[in-house]
A and B are shown apart, each in its own frame.
Chain A
Amino acid sequence: MTPDADVTGGWRLEPSPVEVARRAVRERRRRQSILTAAVSTTAFVLIVGFAVSSAPGWDRVSATFFSVSVAWDVLPVVAQGLWLNIRVLALAIIFVPAIGLGVALLRTLRGPVFLPLRLFAIAYVDIFRGLPLLLMLYLIGFGVPALRLEGFTPSAFWLGTVAVTITYSSYVSEVFRAGIESIHPSQRLAARSLGLSYPATMRRVILPQAVRNVTPALLNDLVALQKDVGLISILGLYDAIRRAQIEVAASFNFTPYVVAGLLFVALSVPTGRLADAVNLRAARRQQASVA
């Protein structure tokens, strides 16, 4: 059973007995490890489940935190609140990368002329990365309206969005900067040697590689952003958390919080999977081009 090419020039391979036996061993091992995983997972779930449910206060907890009927009742209300979080999130997803990238680029500018811009970028990151988001929301959400500016009365929705965007832009700009600096200087040299201008070098050569290098970190920030948009509830907006809070206050049952939490988790899981898929595809493409 020797391998040979068929008439079309394609490749046909009859595995030899040795290879067949090897594959059988691998398949057997694969099944064994799946079985082991299933057994250990079941055991783990049973043990933890028993430990929790046999705790003295379990009946109380299950009724106040995990009441299915309450969850079902409040789901529409909380989900409606989540729609507000999603709108803030959508706006932040548009503006955060743009501002973050802008600040990062300002910081990479060389030459004395650009010193003020560079200082601005450094100060921006230092201040807004250090300020707790909660404080930012208070300062902008309550401070800006207190100025009583004529003809400028943004809603709490916009103020909250701005606060979240400013803070997250500072995180993201540092991620972008790390990405830009991760590209070997030889790439810049090669681009400049072809006569590409600084902006063209950035746009066509450095940034595409830089962004790919930091995609995992960017998507991680995106997940963090997804849940931090819940903080805008402190501005009195009827978002998912605020609505859950109201329901809790009315019934003294904490299940609405659990519902809101699950909705936020449900929102973030696809992002995490997307991140994995994007990274995998990029890695495959690069390897394919090498081979």
Chain B
Amino acid sequence: MSVLLEARNVVKAYGHTPVLRGIDLSIDEGQVVALVGASGSGKSTLLRCLSLLEPVSDGQVFLDGEDITDPSARTDRVRSKFGVVFQAFNLFPHLTVMQNITLAPRRVHGRSRVQAEARGRELLERIGLGGRGSDYPDRLSGGQQQRVAIVRAIAVEPRVLILDEVTSALDPTLVAGVLALVRELAGQGRTIVMATHELGFARQVADRLCVLGEGTIIEQGPPAQVLGEPRDARTRAFLGQVADSGRL
């Protein structure tokens, strides 16, 4: 398998506040990588830097071997290769579910309306929202909205799917449906980078677990190993906190 996405010494600082202090991360095609760590450890910032939603302060990000942080990179075109799902869904409230899903395929990727909607219906069908295409997002539950957001992200067949704590804003009863969809996508061989607090889920789905702390990757490896026999004291401390909250 070849390297699809690579971060080299990625640094991100807001003013004089460092958030990422030099991240090196290499992700192969088809790999599912989970980022875990306490709040404020830089998971979301890293995801945004990888997908060019934030400019890096230093370091480089490569997609398919191309330096996408180079000033000559065409950022809009690069971003269209990422599918990003946000914690708060970020569906467009003034567009229907179907319009949310077909916006990028039609306006960025030049699909016809008929084509885009056919694909949209197929995807909605798969997440059990077949009849809801003409509804506005406000009419859906949080779990349904998040599944629509995921479908919106994959409707353009992105090279990399970025999931930023996609279940954190959801009711526990709605989490399962969203996780099932993510599991299905992971099973299709998609490349996924996700920040998550669901360690149990990460253990099942991820090929690799990266523990972030203080803006660096303090430990990474197969989930079973990182969760089972953590080497770093900070990882153990973090896992202890999570265990106390009953999420493991």
Are A3 and B18 neighbours in the complex by a CB distance under 8 Å? yes
Q: Mark B49-75, 1 if CB is under 8 A from A, else 0.
A: 000000001111000000001111000
Segment among A19-27, A45-53, A67-75 that sits at the interface with chain B: A19-27
When distances are taken between beta carbons in the complex, the residues of chain B under 8 Å from A26 are 71
Say yes or no for B17: interface residue by CB 8 A criterion.
Answer: yes
Q: Mark B13-33, 1 if CB is under 8 A from A, else 0.
A: 110111001100000000000
Are B9 and A25 neighbours in the complex by a CB distance under 8 Å? no
Query: CA–CA, A26 to B16, complex, Å?
Result: 21
Are A13 and B58 neighbours in the complex by a CB distance under 8 Å? yes
When distances are taken between beta carbons in the complex, the residues of chain B under 8 Å from A16 are 9, 58-59
Say yes or no for A10: interface residue by CB 8 A criterion.
Answer: yes
Question: Which residue on chain B has the smallest CB distance to residue A26?
Answer: B71
When distances are taken between beta carbons in the complex, the residues of chain A under 8 Å from B72 are 25
- From A3, A11, A29, A291, contact of B71 by CB (8 A): A29
Are A3 and B11 neighbours in the complex by a CB distance under 8 Å? yes
When distances are taken between beta carbons in the complex, the residues of chain B under 8 Å from A19 are 57-59
- From A2, A13, A15, contact of B18 by CB (8 A): A13
Are A2 and B71 neighbours in the complex by a CB distance under 8 Å? no
Query: CA–CA, A15 to B11, complex, Å?
Result: 10
Question: Which residue on chain B has the smallest CB distance to residue A23?
Answer: B71
- From B58, B60, B69, contact of A3 by CB (8 A): B58
Say yes or no for A18: interface residue by CB 8 A criterion.
Answer: yes
Query: CA–CA, A19 to B22, complex, Å?
Result: 13
Are A22 and B21 neighbours in the complex by a CB distance under 8 Å? no
Are A2 and B9 neighbours in the complex by a CB distance under 8 Å? yes
When distances are taken between beta carbons in the complex, the residues of chain B under 8 Å from A291 are 14
When distances are taken between beta carbons in the complex, the residues of chain A under 8 Å from B11 are 3, 13
Question: Which residue on chain B has the smallest CB distance to residue A4?
Answer: B21
Are A25 and B71 neighbours in the complex by a CB distance under 8 Å? yes
Question: Which residue on chain B has the smallest CB distance to residue A16?
Answer: B58
CB distance from B73 to the nearest CB of A (A): 11
Query: CA–CA, A5 to B13, complex, Å?
Result: 12
When distances are taken between beta carbons in the complex, the residues of chain A under 8 Å from B71 are 22, 25-26, 29
Query: CA–CA, A18 to B13, complex, Å?
Result: 16
- How many B residues touch A, CB cutoff 8 Å? 17
Given contacts A11-B17, A22-B70, contact A2 B22 (CB under 8 A): yes
Query: CA–CA, A37 to B34, complex, Å?
Result: 46
- From A2, A4, A11, contact of B13 by CB (8 A): A11
Query: CA–CA, A36 to B14, complex, Å?
Result: 31
Are B57 and A13 neighbours in the complex by a CB distance under 8 Å? yes
Are B22 and A3 neighbours in the complex by a CB distance under 8 Å? yes
Are B21 and A3 neighbours in the complex by a CB distance under 8 Å? yes
Question: Which residue on chain A has the smallest CB distance to residue B67?
Answer: A18
When distances are taken between beta carbons in the complex, the residues of chain A under 8 Å from B22 are 2-3
Are B18 and A11 neighbours in the complex by a CB distance under 8 Å? yes
Query: CA–CA, A16 to B8, complex, Å?
Result: 11
Question: Which residue on chain A has the smallest CB distance to residue B14?
Answer: A291
CB distance from B17 to the nearest CB of A (A): 7
Query: CA–CA, A18 to B70, complex, Å?
Result: 9
Which of B11, B13, B17 counts the most chain A CB atoms within 10 A?
B11
CB distance from B1 to the nearest CB of A (A): 26
Question: Which residue on chain A has the smallest CB distance to residue B21?
Answer: A3
Question: Which residue on chain B has the smallest CB distance to residue A25?
Answer: B71
CB distance from A23 to the nearest CB of B (A): 9
CB distance from B21 to the nearest CB of A (A): 6
Query: CA–CA, A16 to B58, complex, Å?
Result: 7
Are B58 and A18 neighbours in the complex by a CB distance under 8 Å? yes
When distances are taken between beta carbons in the complex, the residues of chain B under 8 Å from A3 are 11, 18, 21-22, 58
When distances are taken between beta carbons in the complex, the residues of chain A under 8 Å from B18 are 3, 5, 11, 13
Q: Mark A75-91, 1 if CB is under 8 A from B, else 0.
A: 00000000000000000
Question: Which residue on chain A has the smallest CB distance to residue B8?
Answer: A18
Question: Which residue on chain A has the smallest CB distance to residue B15?
Answer: A11
Query: CA–CA, A5 to B60, complex, Å?
Result: 21
When distances are taken between beta carbons in the complex, the residues of chain B under 8 Å from A13 are 11, 13, 18, 57-58
Q: A4-B21, A22-B69, A291-B14 are in contact. List 16 more A-B contacts (CB 8 A).
A: A2-B9, A2-B22, A3-B58, A13-B18, A13-B57, A15-B58, A16-B9, A16-B59, A18-B58, A18-B60, A19-B58, A19-B59, A22-B71, A25-B71, A26-B71, A29-B71
Can you give 6 contacting A-B residue pairs, CB < 8 Å? A4-B21, A10-B16, A13-B57, A13-B58, A22-B70, A29-B71
B residues at A contact (CB < 8 Å): 9, 11, 13-14, 16-18, 21-22, 57-60, 69-72
A residues at B contact (CB < 8 Å): 2-5, 10-11, 13, 15-16, 18-19, 22, 25-26, 29, 291
